[in-house]
Amino acid sequence: MGERVFTASVNTPVHIPPCAYFPYCADLDGWGKFTNFIVNGNPVDFSEQEICMISVDREYHNEVVWKKRDELKAYNIYREGNITGQFELIATVDSDSPNKWIDMESNARVRSYRYKVSGIDDCGNESQLSSPHKTMHLTISQGVGGSWNLIWTPYEGINYSTYHLYRATGETLGELKLIATMPSSNTSYTDFVDLNSYVYYVVEIVSTDACEVSVQQTSHQTANSEIPFGAIRSNFVTNNPKGLTGLENIYAENSILIYPNPVRNELRIESGGMRITKAAIVDLAGRTIYQHNDPSDKINVSHLHSGIYFVIIETDEGFVIRKFVKK
């Protein structure tokens, strides 16, 4: 009788030694044909790492936020260099650190940037690089009749449908007010404003996919808990020759917490010592469906239909947008 040959499907589970995932994958004539590798009883998932969002901080540096994975030891952060498509390693962040990193070498006032990230496992293996995210870059120029022309580069890396455009006026940057909501197919706006003071603008995207950032312990959190990160913002622009002052009042971002989330009846706001002056609830289309003008740390949401909403919280130190789910 001839020798019996056993042929296994590429989907057959293959148990491999620890730290052997990439060597087995590289064996294209043998083990590399299989797709279901298991290490110590756990399937290996080396799908590409994901960036969650990139926004701009008060010093015009880019903040990179990525999706955290428990099985990874560290994360590599890459920034596109002077050649299109060529990404250079600029930082490695340990998994015990918050999944947010500030690129101190970036300057959002002058240009946009593209980033990628990768994950590193306990064996030192690096995953494939993520899909790139590209920041928005907002510019301003004076038009005719007291108008101001705003042009920005579109954000790349997530799906979104709407831009929010905010304006503030005064000798320094004060309260930002929403002046326009437009589809993501638009990347320009002309603002006709009759004022004798300086103007300030910022473009914002509110993604329907929340970013979660690990934080230190607070009164309502454990040491390993997470908070939702804010909306994606462009750089600020102004016609003030002195530039921006008062910007610190806009970034109350990480001091505001909402809970419970999802919520059924009452949404509580932890303001971090700031005084809440106003709150509004908007739906995914940007429509204001509830205005809460009395200073309070709680909002009755029992009348809302089940779904995803945003609460815009105004405080004496700035404004914050948080996403929540109504049960």
Task: Please give the pLDDT value at position 136.
Answer: 96
Task: Please give the pLDDT value at position 224.
Answer: 33
Domain extent, residue 265, equals 252-327
User: For the chain, what is the domain count?
Assistant: 3
Same domain, 31 and 55: no
Task: Please give the pLDDT value at position 145.
Answer: 80
CB-CB contact of 201 with 165 (8 Å):
yes
- How far apart (Å, rounded) are the C-alpha atoms in residues 185 and 139? 17
Q: Which of 102, 134, 166 is the C-terminal boundary of a domain?
A: 134
Same domain, 84 and 103: yes
Residue 19 within a domain = yes
Residue 10 within a domain = yes
The DSSP annotation for 119-151 comes to EE-TT--B-PPPPPEE---EEEEE-STTEEEEE
Task: Please give the pLDDT value at position 153.
Answer: 96
Same domain, 24 and 58: no
Task: Please give the pLDDT value at position 82.
Answer: 93
Q: Distance from first CA to last CA of the chain, Å, rounded?
A: 67
Same domain, 68 and 98: yes
CB-CB contact of 259 with 311 (8 Å):
no
Residue 61 within a domain = yes
Q: Which of 105, 134, 163 is the C-terminal boundary of a domain?
A: 134
Same domain, 100 and 120: yes
Residue 24 within a domain = yes
Same domain, 39 and 77: no
Q: Which residues of the chain fall short of a pLDDT of 50? A: 216-228, 251-252
Residue 238 within a domain = no
Task: Please give the pLDDT value at position 227.
Answer: 38
Distance of CA 235 to the CA centre of its chain: 15
Residue 219 within a domain = no
At 76, which CATH number?
A: 2.60.40.10
Same domain, 113 and 39: no
Q: pTM score > 0.75 for this model?
A: no
Task: Please give the pLDDT value at position 76.
Answer: 95
CB-CB contact of 203 with 164 (8 Å):
yes
Residue 259 within a domain = yes
Task: Please give the pLDDT value at position 210.
Answer: 61
Same domain, 65 and 112: yes
Strands of 298-300's sheet in order across: 257-259, 266-270, 298-300
Tens of pLDDT, residues 96-144: 888 889 999 999 999 999 999 999 887 788 888 999 999 999 999 988 8
Q: Which of 107, 134, 161 is the C-terminal boundary of a domain?
A: 134
Residue 258 within a domain = yes
